[in-house]
Amino acid sequence: MDNNKTIGMVETQYYTFAYPPNELELESGGRLGPVTLAYETYGALNESRSNAILVLHALTGDAHAAGFHEVDKDPGWWDNMIGPGKAFDTHKYFVICSNVIGGCKGSTGPSSIDPKTGRPYGLTFPIITIKDMVNAQRYLIDHLGINKLISVTGGSMGGMQALQWVVSYPERVSSVIPIATTANHSPQQIAFNEVGRQAIMADPNWNDGDYYGKELPAKGLSVARMVGHITYMSDVSMSEKFGRRFKDIKQPFKFSPEFEVEGYLQYRGDNFIKRFDPNSYLYITKAIDYFDFTNGKGLHELLKGIKSRFLIIAFKSDWLYPAYQSQEIARACKLAGVETVYCELNSTYGHDAFLVEVEEQSHLVKHFLERTTRGFSQA
């Protein structure tokens, strides 16, 4: 496998649906329409339209999972996993990645224009859930003329969406690869998200979500990102990357970022405000907190009768989504008689491992997909 190979230049595409009076019905009881999804595709769809894989992004991700944009020098967020000869081999598979509803990278979200008012939705945007995101994606898959997906995969929030696909549309998913994720949030995980939301809402520029065309609640969003980023790393990775080192310019006994780790977090926060909408952060983190794969049932009861094969991947140093949460899903699959492979990988990168640990993940995914496609071609 050559991880230096890339699929080259790609373009984001857009699909709009759910025009009134046929709006998208939401779990909250609300309705949303029209709805636009930003998405990208990599590789070619075969004649029978049977080689498609849906890749789903994490909290602050977007549709740009692989390749390069002409105006952006950075590759897609999973470029090391998607492309010729890589884990999701674009010589074999047609890979799709869409930005979720509620987002701010081309899909309909709180920063989008409400056709009824001609102004950004802001807090009039309806509450959305992981299930709503998946229902919207199903419209996109229908639009592309794909009846059944070889696999649905993603890490973190992307893994939640992958799990929801299995429950919402079991007949349309041959396999699922949830990575570094959970069936539902623990109180601690909800607590971290709430701190981020409160940081945004405490910013005087937030203005009850009506800040469009005005000063952004930048400081609040920056703090939210800083808090989040701490949870994405591990104690070991932070020690190796920063230690207790001071920056080159030390100002002793002042409240400036003297330690390297302080400067790094501020850098991350300052960059985040350039690319993400604060209201989208509120809505998406709430959707994650609401997510409950069990839907009030026993997990193994929910999975009974599921024909999709599972590859569940977790990382030992991930303390945001600790391995025990993936183990619970794997145990429930086994109890339900679902064909399941569980792999727990050593890594010092913490939760971010699913984005950077390429070699072992690629080996697992490639082998799993090869076995899946053998069964898929016979289905």
Active site residue 185: no
- The pLDDT of residue 1: 41
Other C-beta atoms closer than 10 Å to the C-beta of 201 total 15
Q: Name the active-site residue from 112, 185, 351, 352.
A: 351
CA 37 to chain centre: 15
- Termini Cα distance of the chain: 29
Is the CA virtual torsion 261, 262, 266, 267 positive or negative?
negative
Please list the helix, strand and coil fractions of the chain in percent, rounded to the nearest 5, in that order: 40, 20, 45
Which H/E stretch holds residue 286?
A: helix 278-290
pLDDT of residue 189: 97
Percent over 90 (pLDDT), the chain? 89
As a whole number of angstroms, the distance between CA 240 and CA 276 comes to 29
Beta bridge partners of 94: 52
Reported confidence tier of residue 218, pLDDT bands at 50, 70, 90: very high
The mean pLDDT value of the chain amounts to 94
User: pTM here?
Assistant: 0.95
Is 174 labeled as catalytic in the residue annotation? no
CATH number of 13-185+291-378: 3.40.50.1820
The one-letter amino acid at 362: S
Specify the pLDDT at position 374: 83
What pLDDT digit, counting tens, does each position of 7-57 carry? 999 999 999 999 999 999 999 999 999 999 999 999 999 999 999 999 999
Could you tell me which residue, 256 or 369, shows the higher pLDDT?
369
Q: Is 353 in contact with 212 (CB distance < 8 Å)?
A: no
pLDDT of residue 110: 98
Task: Give tens-digit pLDDT for 139-160.
Answer: 999 999 999 999 999 999 999 9
Q: How far apart, in whole angstroms, are the C-alpha atoms of residue 37 and residue 107?
A: 4
Task: List, as one string, the DSSP characters of 51-115.
Answer: -EEEEE--TT--S--SSBBTTB-SPPTTTTTEETTSSEETTT-EEEEEPPTT-SSSSS-TTSEET
pLDDT in tens, 307-363: 999 999 999 999 999 999 999 999 999 999 999 999 999 999 999 999 999 999 999
The pLDDT, as a whole number, for residue 258 is 84
More confident call, 344 vs 377: 344
Say which of 98, 107, 112, 156 is annotated catalytic: 156
Whether 156 sits among the annotated catalytic residues: the reply is: yes
Examine domains 13-185+291-378 and 189-286 and report if their fold is the same.
no
What band does 4 get if pLDDT is binned at 50, 70 and 90? low
Over the stretch 222-271, which tens digit does the pLDDT of each residue have? 999 999 999 999 999 999 999 998 887 766 777 888 889 999 999 999 99
Which overall architecture, per CATH, does domain 189-286 show? Answer: Orthogonal Bundle (1.10)
Domain ranges (residues) in the chain: 13-185+291-378, 189-286
